[in-house]
């Protein structure tokens, strides 16, 4: 009979937030969140205020596709050594600095343009920002996973969420304030300067320890087999083949080898965990407007209560995982993210009720913040330290794509059935995630146990 593992004390759980790797993610989260709105809503506001046609602005939303397909170049970020940067700073920090350089260059390029008459150049610089941002995200995720053990990942995820929200605020409200006081050019130059927050963080924090690329390739059976069978072929071709097998093939075969029959169920769980809240997201603002709430009321409530509760939920999720482990909190996150969608049903039935709007925003964002923190910790625990960038990029893309796809049909369901049935259906979509979360939480091979009790 095994002895149950004692849980970490509340004091020890709180002390996790003072650890340097956890604090680091606050600033790297800010660096990751900063570019996002600058190529979406903030850029759209600039283009429209300068007289660019709405039809042309709509095409700029396609830039966001880069964030959903970043797993295509994640193997390069994972395994390719950058000239000079990797030697000076390491694999993860070198790629983060390259991504930040692209972001800053793209923002400075946008600041130098008059959008009217220069839309192709605006699109080119916006693509550079988005590509640099997605590349930075890949490197930051790998850096986070390799910087601390699994039981600290939820706390790191929660500080990352806080920092990310701060970056969104700076790029959204902050950029709009600067533009209203000075100019759009000054706003984008200010945002380019704020990229320095991430740069300084990378420079002061050490590179996480990991095996060298050569050592990793030597220990890969598939790479060794390729090297044996390719004897006599050109050396450059053999090196390229070994690199491709190690960077592209092995991350996928490693996951299926480790989890075997459970692998497909895990991928299904990753795909459905966020499907409930992502599927309903496109209809939240239309609901508020159709109920009669003013834009000012919507903005104030979603900003004040929404952001605060999202941050609070992230901190709570990190704290609960540190004390109780990933398993039970994964179930709690799935349940909370699913059933808080029923608050939108209640809001629909209540009509233009400010208390119900506040309650709905608080519940939805608190649940999403908690669910995001624990799910990031879970994905991090599934990721092999040998393939962090590639595997996590695949997981994070799989996590969002099904929900975003279904979200596009939200308007059709609302038009046919109304808001209340739509949000009830969206809530029901989360039931498979709850069932899978319960199964996973009972399997000690899939979720690490809580840390031992410490003072």
Angstrom distance (rounded) from CA 307 to CA 369? 9
Mean pLDDT of the chain: 82
pLDDT band at residue 5, thresholds of 50, 70 and 90?
very low
Interatomic CA distance for residues 166 and 136, integer angstroms: 17
Average pLDDT over residues 28-38: 92
In the predicted structure, residue 438 carries a pLDDT above the cut 90: yes
Residue tagged 């979406």 (tokens): 40
Mean pLDDT of 143-153: 81
For residue 59, the model assigns a pLDDT of 67
pLDDT surpassing 90 at residue 395: no
Residue 101 lies in a domain: yes
Mutual angle of helices 388-407 and 119-147, in 10-degree steps: 120
Same structural domain for residues 243 and 344? no
What is the predicted pLDDT for the residue at 224? 61
Shared domain for 226 and 333, answered yes or no, is: no
Percent of the chain whose pLDDT exceeds 90: 25
Residue 256 lies in a domain: no
Token pair 């009979």: residue: 1
The pLDDT assigned to 44 comes to 76
Q: Are residues 147 and 227 in the same domain?
A: no
In a domain, 253, yes or no: no
Q: What pLDDT is stored for residue 129 in this prediction?
A: 95
- Higher-confidence residue of 197 and 58: namely 197
Highest-confidence segment of 52-61, 127-136, 165-174, 348-357: 127-136
Asked if 363 and 379 sit in the same domain, the reply is yes
Question: Same domain, yes or no, for 295 and 226?
Answer: no
Q: What is the pLDDT of residue 80?
A: 84
pLDDT band for position 3 (cuts 50, 70, 90): very low
In a domain, 255, yes or no: no
Round to whole Å and give the CA distance between 116 and 47: 8
pLDDT value at residue 232:
64
Question: Could you give the CA distance from residue 453 to residue 11 in angstroms, rounded to a whole number?
Answer: 10
Same domain, 21 and 75: yes
Of the pLDDT bands very low, low, confident and very high (cuts 50, 70, 90), residue 390 is: confident
Asked whether residue 254 is assigned to any structural domain, the reply reads no
Q: How many domains does the chain have?
A: 3
Domain with 300 in it: what CATH number?
1.20.1250.20
DSSP per-residue codes, 164-208: HHHHHHIIIIIHHHHHHHT-HHHHHHHHHHHTHHHHHHHHHSPPP
Give me the sign of the Cα torsion angle 307, 311, 312, 313: positive
Q: What percentage of the chain's residues is helix, strand, coil (to nearest 5)?
A: 80, 0, 20
Query: Do 152 and 193 have their domain in common?
Result: yes
- When pLDDT is cut at 50, 70 and 90, the band that residue 216 belongs to is low
pLDDT digits (tens, 9 = 90+) for 54-65: 666 666 667 777
Average pLDDT over residues 34-54: 78
Alpha-carbon dihedral sign for residues 125, 281, 58, 289:
negative
Q: Both 204 and 230 in a single domain?
A: no
Question: Hey, how many other C-beta atoms are within 10 angstroms of the C-beta on 220?
Answer: 19
pLDDT at 257 over 70: yes
Structural domain contains residue 360: yes
Q: How far apart (Å, rounded) are the C-alpha atoms in residues 112 and 100? A: 18
pLDDT value for 4:
47
Would you say 171 and 191 are in contact if contact means Cβ atoms under 8 Å apart?
yes
Q: Is 386 helix (H, G, I), strand (E, B) or coil?
A: coil
**Domain containing residue 452:** 261-455
Query: What is the residue-wise DSSP string for 221-280?
Result: HHHHHHHHHTTTS-HHHHHHHHHHIIIIIHHHHHHHHHHTTHHHHHHHHHHHHTHHHHHH
Same domain, 297 and 229: no
The confidence score (pLDDT) of residue 225 equals: 63
Same domain, 430 and 416: yes
pLDDT at 100 over 70: yes
Predicted TM-score (pTM) of the model is: 0.74
Are 340 and 455 found together in one domain?
Answer: yes
Q: Are residues 437 and 394 in the same domain?
A: yes
pLDDT tier at 449, thresholds 50, 70, 90: low
Length of the chain: 455
Q: What pLDDT was estimated at residue 331?
A: 92
**At residue 131, does pLDDT exceed 80?**
yes
Asked whether the beta carbons of 147 and 207 are under 8 A apart, the reply is: no
Q: Is residue 171 part of a domain?
A: yes
Between CA 381 and CA 72 the distance in angstroms is 22
How far, in Å, are 14, 199, 201, 284, 388 from residue 22 at the CA level?
A: 11, 17, 12, 32, 18
What confidence tens digit (pLDDT) does each residue in 398-431 have? 887 787 777 767 777 888 888 888 889 989 999 9
Could you give the 3-state DSSP secondary structure of residue 153?
helix
The token pair at 147 is: 């910087």
Q: What is the mean pLDDT of residues 266-282?
A: 84
């Amino acid at each position: 009979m095994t002895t149950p593992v004692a849980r970490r004390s509340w004091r020890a759980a709180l002390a996790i937030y003072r650890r340097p790797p956890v604090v680091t993610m606050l600033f790297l989260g800010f660096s990751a969140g900063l570019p996002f709105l600058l190529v979406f809503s903030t850029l759209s506001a600039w283009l429209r205020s300068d007289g660019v046609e709405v039809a042309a602005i709509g095409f700029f939303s396609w830039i966001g596709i880069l964030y959903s397909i970043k797993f295509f170049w994640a193997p390069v970020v994972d395994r390719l050594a950058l000239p000079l940067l990797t030697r000076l700073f390491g694999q993860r920090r070198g790629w983060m600095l390259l991504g930040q350089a692209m972001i800053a260059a793209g923002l400075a390029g946008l600041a130098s343009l008059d959008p009217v008459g220069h839309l192709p150049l605006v699109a080119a610089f916006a693509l550079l920002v988005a590509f640099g941002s997605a590349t930075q995200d890949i490197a930051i995720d790998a850096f986070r996973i390799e910087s601390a053990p699994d039981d600290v990942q939820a706390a790191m995820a929660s500080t990352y969420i806080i920092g990310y929200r701060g970056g969104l605020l700076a790029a959204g409200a902050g950029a709009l304030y600067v533009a209203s006081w000075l100019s759009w050019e000054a706003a984008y130059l200010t945002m380019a300067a704020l990229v320095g927050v991430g740069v300084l963080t990378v420079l002061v924090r050490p590179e996480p320890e990991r095996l060298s690329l050569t050592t990793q390739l030597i220990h890969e059976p598939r790479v060794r087999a390729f090297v044996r069978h390719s004897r006599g072929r050109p050396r450059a071709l053999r090196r390229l083949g070994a690199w491709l097998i190690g960077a592209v093939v092995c991350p996928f075969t490693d996951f299926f080898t480790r989890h075997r029959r459970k692998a497909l169920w895990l991928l299904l769980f990753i795909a459905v965990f966020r499907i409930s809240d992502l599927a309903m997201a496109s209809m939240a603002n239309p609901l508020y407007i159709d109920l009669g709430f003013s834009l000012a009321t919507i903005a104030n409530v979603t900003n004040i209560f929404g952001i605060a509760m999202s941050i609070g939920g992230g901190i709570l999720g990190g704290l609960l995982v540190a004390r109780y482990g990933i398993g039970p909190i994964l179930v709690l996150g799935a349940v909370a993210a699913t059933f808080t969608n029923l608050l939108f049903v209640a809001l629909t039935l209540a009509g233009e009720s400010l208390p119900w709007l506040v309650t709905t925003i608080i519940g939805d964002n608190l649940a999403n913040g908690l669910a995001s923190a624990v799910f990031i910790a879970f994905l991090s625990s599934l990721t092999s330290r040998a393939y962090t960038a590639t595997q996590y990029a695949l997981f994070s893309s799989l996590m969002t794509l099904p929900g975003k796809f279904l979200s596009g049909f939200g308007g059709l369901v609302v038009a046919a059935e109304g808001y209340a049935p739509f949000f009830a259906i969206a809530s029901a979509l989360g039931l498979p995630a709850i069932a899978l979360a319960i199964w996973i939480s009972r399997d000690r091979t899939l979720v690490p146990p809580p840390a031992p009790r410490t003072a």
